Amino acid sequence: MAQAQSPSTTPPEPTMVDGKFVPTRDVPFSEALDAMIAEVRAGNAPNLGRFCGYCYTPLEAGRRVCPTCDTSADDVPARDKISRTVAQAYTAKRKREGRYVHGAAWAGILLGTAVSTGLIVILPDWTKIFAIIFLIVGSYYIASYLGNVAIQDYAYRRGLRQFSAAWQDFLALRAQGATDEEEPPELDS
Ligand SMILES: [Zn+2]
């Protein structure tokens, strides 16, 4: 943490164990905070609570150590509001994942259309009806497979990488005291 952050620094890779993301202090993405930000944005919850002073993971009552980044509330005092910059990083991650999923679903529809067009050309006479059936049913299944199954893992990893980069930017701003937090906490360990 002694080195100044330079924009060319590669953000840390998210830690994956058996294909599952494990939050670390370097990439402190919190599923609980992600869900809460979505609720706050939807207007279903207020931006209030008790959050880790380092990464903003929601802390249950009485909890002293953050489950995401292991920061103790004794070292960095807990906060009562989510930083806007951090919330934006979470929202940007969701948007990016959504773009991949939509892109994959559209690719599936185009693929299904291409295959059924081929079938119309190849199939003789009345059997062309199968091309139409494939266009309707096949495209749907290809699109939902690509959008829901095949791309999920990829989209999730890309989203985490984007979060990692956004978190680095946030840390750089925080080091300058340029975030919307009241006071930059001491983070040097
Ligand atoms: Zn934390």
Question: What separation in Å is there between the alpha carbon of 66 and the centre of ligand 1?
Answer: 5
**Is there a single domain that holds both residue 109 and residue 171?**
yes
Best CA proximity match to 76, nearest among 183, 163, 3, 170? 183
Mean per-residue pLDDT, 56-79: 95
13 CB-near residues (< 8 Å, 6+ apart): 27, 161, 164
**Is there a single domain that holds both residue 129 and residue 148?**
yes
* Token representation of residue 168: 């680095």
Question: What separation in Å is there between the alpha carbon of 71 and the centre of ligand 1?
Answer: 5
CA 34 to chain centre: 8
How many domains does the structure of the chain reveal? 2
Question: What separation in Å is there between the alpha carbon of 69 and the centre of ligand 1?
Answer: 4
Q: Is the overall model pTM greater than 0.85, yes or no?
A: no
Residues 29, 67: Cα–Cα separation, whole Å: 11
**Is there a single domain that holds both residue 53 and residue 105?**
no
Domain-terminating residue out of 43, 63, 83: 83
Question: What separation in Å is there between the alpha carbon of 147 and the centre of ligand 1?
Answer: 32
**Is there a single domain that holds both residue 158 and residue 104?**
yes
**Is there a single domain that holds both residue 50 and residue 113?**
no
Question: What separation in Å is there between the alpha carbon of 170 and the centre of ligand 1?
Answer: 14
Above 50 in pLDDT, residue 38? yes
77 falls within a domain = yes
**Is there a single domain that holds both residue 173 and residue 113?**
yes
**Is there a single domain that holds both residue 63 and residue 135?**
no
**Is there a single domain that holds both residue 73 and residue 110?**
no
Selected residue with higher pLDDT from 110 and 1: 110
- Cβ–Cβ < 8 Å for 27, 163: yes
Domain-terminating residue out of 27, 54, 83: 83
Q: Which pLDDT score is estimated for 139? A: 86
Question: What separation in Å is there between the alpha carbon of 31 and the centre of ligand 1?
Answer: 12
Q: Which pLDDT score is estimated for 7? A: 52
Q: SS3 for 54-76, per residue?
A: CCCCECCCCCCECCCCCCECCCC
pLDDT tens for 70-119 read 999 999 999 999 999 999 999 999 999 999 989 998 998 899 999 999 99
Above 90 in pLDDT, residue 18? no
Question: What separation in Å is there between the alpha carbon of 73 and the centre of ligand 1?
Answer: 9
98 falls within a domain = yes
24 falls within a domain = yes
Best CA proximity match to 86, nearest among 34, 39, 50, 35? 34
Boundaries of domain holding 122: 94-181
- Cβ–Cβ < 8 Å for 45, 32: no
Above 50 in pLDDT, residue 189? no
The DSSP call for residue 25 is S
**Is there a single domain that holds both residue 127 and residue 171?**
yes
Neighbours of ion ligand 1 (CB under 5 A): 52, 54-55, 57, 66, 68-69, 71
Domain-terminating residue out of 83, 104, 136: 83
Selected residue with higher pLDDT from 17 and 184: 17
